[in-house]
A and B are shown apart, each in its own frame.
Chain A
Amino acid sequence: MSVILVFLLVIAGFAGWWLSHQGLMTKPWLEQGLAGDLVGLDRSALPTAKIGLGVFLAVVGCLFALFTSAYFMRMAVPDWQPLPLPRLLWLNTGVLVLSSVALQCTSVAARRGQIDTVRLGLATAGLTAFAFLVGQFMAWRQLTADGYFLASNPANSFFYLITGMHGLHVLGGLVGLGRTTTSAWTGTRPERLRLGVELCAMYWHFLLFVWLAIFALLAGWAATFIDICRQLLT
Chain B
Amino acid sequence: MVDITPADGIPPAEVAEVELYHPHSWWTKYVFSQDAKVIAVQYSATATAIGLVALVLSWLMRLQLGFPGTFDFITPEAYYQFITMHGMIMVIYLLTALFLGGFGNYLIPLMVGARDMVFPYVNMLSYWIYLLAVLVLVSSFFAPGGPTGAGWTLYPPQAIMSGTPGGQDWGIILMLSSLILFIIGFTMGGLNYVVTVLQGRTRGMTMMRLPLTVWGIFTATVMALLAFPALFVASVMMLLDRVLGTSFFMPAISEMGEQLPHNGGSPILFQHLFWFFGHPEVYIVALPAFGIVSDLISTHARKNIFGYRMMVWAIVGIGALSFVVWAHHMYVSGMHPYFGFFFATTTLIIAIPTAIKVYNWVLTLWRGDIHLTIPMLFALAFIVTFVNGGLTGLFLGNVVVDVPLSDTMFVVAHFHMVMGVAPILVVFGAIYHWYPKVTGRMLNETLGRFHFWVTFLGAYLIFFPMHYLGLMGVPRRYAELTDMTIMTESAHHLNSFISVMAFIVGFAQMVFLFNLIWSVRHGREAGGNPWRATTLEWQTPQTPPAHGNFGKDLPIVYRWAYDYSVPGAKEDFIPQNMPGSFGPSREPA
Q: Which of A25, A29, A77 has the most CB atoms of chain B within a 10 A radius of its CB? A: A29
B207 at the interface (CB under 8 A from A): yes
In the complex, chain A residues whose CB is within 8 Å of the CB of B209: 28
A144 at the interface (CB under 8 A from B): no
Asked if B266 contacts A77 (CB within 8 A), the reply is yes
Bound Cα distance A147, B86 (Å): 44
B105 at the interface (CB under 8 A from A): no
In the complex, chain A residues whose CB is within 8 Å of the CB of B226: 8, 11, 58-59, 62
Name the CB-closest residue of A to B197.
Answer: A43
Asked if A32 contacts B247 (CB within 8 A), the reply is no
Known: A1-B276, A24-B208. A55 touches B225 (CB 8 A): yes
Known: A24-B309, A55-B194. A8 touches B323 (CB 8 A): yes
Known: A41-B207, A56-B191, A151-B244. A34 touches B229 (CB 8 A): no
Asked if B4 contacts A24 (CB within 8 A), the reply is no
Asked if A70 contacts B5 (CB within 8 A), the reply is no
Bound Cα distance A206, B580 (Å): 48
Separation in Å of the B136 CB from the closest CB of chain A? Answer: 19
Bound Cα distance A169, B204 (Å): 38
Separation in Å of the B19 CB from the closest CB of chain A? Answer: 11
In the complex, chain B residues whose CB is within 8 Å of the CB of A79: 247, 263-264
Interface string of A24-42 (1 = CB under 8 A from B): 1111111111111110011
B201: which of A34, A42, A78 is its contact (CB, 8 Å)?
A42
Known: A22-B208, A34-B556. A78 touches B304 (CB 8 A): no
Asked if B559 contacts A32 (CB within 8 A), the reply is yes
Asked if A42 contacts B206 (CB within 8 A), the reply is yes
Q: Which of A19, A26, A35, A43 has the most CB atoms of chain B within a 10 A radius of its CB? A: A43
A38: which of B204, B276, B309 is its contact (CB, 8 Å)?
B204
Bound Cα distance A5, B556 (Å): 40
Bound Cα distance A36, B4 (Å): 10
Asked if B10 contacts A38 (CB within 8 A), the reply is no
A24: which of B205, B225, B312 is its contact (CB, 8 Å)?
B312
A222 at the interface (CB under 8 A from B): no
Asked if A36 contacts B3 (CB within 8 A), the reply is yes
CB-CB contacts below 8 Å: B256-315 with A: 261, 263-266, 269, 272-273, 276, 304, 308-309, 312-313
A73 at the interface (CB under 8 A from B): yes
Stretch at the interface among A44-52, A101-109, A126-134, A196-204: A44-52
Bound Cα distance A44, B4 (Å): 25
In the complex, chain A residues whose CB is within 8 Å of the CB of B486: none
Asked if B247 contacts A151 (CB within 8 A), the reply is yes
Bound Cα distance A201, B118 (Å): 21
Bound Cα distance A19, B319 (Å): 14
In the complex, chain A residues whose CB is within 8 Å of the CB of B152: none
Asked if B562 contacts A29 (CB within 8 A), the reply is yes
Bound Cα distance A26, B558 (Å): 15
In the complex, chain A residues whose CB is within 8 Å of the CB of B263: 79
Chain A facing B: main interface SS: helix
Name the CB-closest residue of B to A66.
Answer: B233
In the complex, chain B residues whose CB is within 8 Å of the CB of A27: 1, 309, 589
Bound Cα distance A42, B204 (Å): 7
Q: How many A residues touch B, CB cutoff 8 Å?
A: 53
Separation in Å of the B379 CB from the closest CB of chain A? Answer: 21
A138 at the interface (CB under 8 A from B): no
B155 at the interface (CB under 8 A from A): no
B7 at the interface (CB under 8 A from A): yes
Asked if A66 contacts B240 (CB within 8 A), the reply is no
Asked if B118 contacts A52 (CB within 8 A), the reply is yes
Known: A22-B207, A22-B208, A154-B246. A33 touches B320 (CB 8 A): no
In the complex, chain B residues whose CB is within 8 Å of the CB of A86: none
Separation in Å of the B315 CB from the closest CB of chain A? Answer: 11
In the complex, chain A residues whose CB is within 8 Å of the CB of B582: 32
In the complex, chain A residues whose CB is within 8 Å of the CB of B207: 19, 22-24, 41
Bound Cα distance A200, B195 (Å): 19
Interface string of B225-261 (1 = CB under 8 A from A): 1100110110011001000111110000000000001
B129 at the interface (CB under 8 A from A): no
Bound Cα distance A77, B1 (Å): 60
Bound Cα distance A30, B324 (Å): 36
Asked if A42 contacts B1 (CB within 8 A), the reply is no
Separation in Å of the A166 CB from the closest CB of chain B? Answer: 13
A91 at the interface (CB under 8 A from B): no
B546 at the interface (CB under 8 A from A): no
Asked if A154 contacts B191 (CB within 8 A), the reply is no
A217 at the interface (CB under 8 A from B): no
In the complex, chain A residues whose CB is within 8 Å of the CB of B558: 32-34
Separation in Å of the B355 CB from the closest CB of chain A? Answer: 20
B586 at the interface (CB under 8 A from A): yes
Known: A24-B208, A55-B191. A33 touches B579 (CB 8 A): yes
A23: which of B206, B232, B240, B556 is its contact (CB, 8 Å)?
B206
Name the CB-closest residue of A to B320.
Answer: A12
Known: A24-B208, A24-B313, A79-B264. A32 touches B4 (CB 8 A): yes
A28: which of B273, B308, B579 is its contact (CB, 8 Å)?
B308
B581 at the interface (CB under 8 A from A): yes
Known: A19-B316, A154-B246. A32 touches B222 (CB 8 A): no
A25: which of B199, B201, B309 is its contact (CB, 8 Å)?
B309
Known: A23-B207, A63-B229. A52 touches B309 (CB 8 A): no
B560 at the interface (CB under 8 A from A): yes
A157 at the interface (CB under 8 A from B): yes
Known: A36-B5, A52-B119, A74-B266. A59 touches B206 (CB 8 A): no
Separation in Å of the A55 CB from the closest CB of chain B? Answer: 5
In the complex, chain A residues whose CB is within 8 Å of the CB of B6: 33
Bound Cα distance A63, B234 (Å): 11
Name the CB-closest residue of A to B261.
Answer: A151
In the complex, chain B residues whose CB is within 8 Å of the CB of A51: 195, 198-199
Asked if A33 contacts B581 (CB within 8 A), the reply is yes
B3: which of A24, A33, A157 is its contact (CB, 8 Å)?
A33
In the complex, chain B residues whose CB is within 8 Å of the CB of A43: 198-201
Q: Using A1-B276, A32-B582, A58-B226 as known contacts, list a sample of 16 further A-B pairs with CB atoms less than 8 Å apart, ordered by residue number in A.
A: A23-B207, A24-B207, A24-B309, A28-B206, A28-B559, A31-B560, A32-B580, A33-B579, A43-B199, A44-B198, A44-B199, A62-B226, A70-B237, A70-B269, A150-B244, A157-B248
A-B contact pairs, 20 of them (CB 8 A): A8-B323, A23-B206, A28-B206, A28-B308, A31-B560, A33-B581, A34-B556, A51-B195, A58-B225, A63-B229, A63-B233, A66-B273, A66-B276, A70-B273, A80-B264, A150-B240, A157-B246, A161-B237, A161-B240, A165-B236
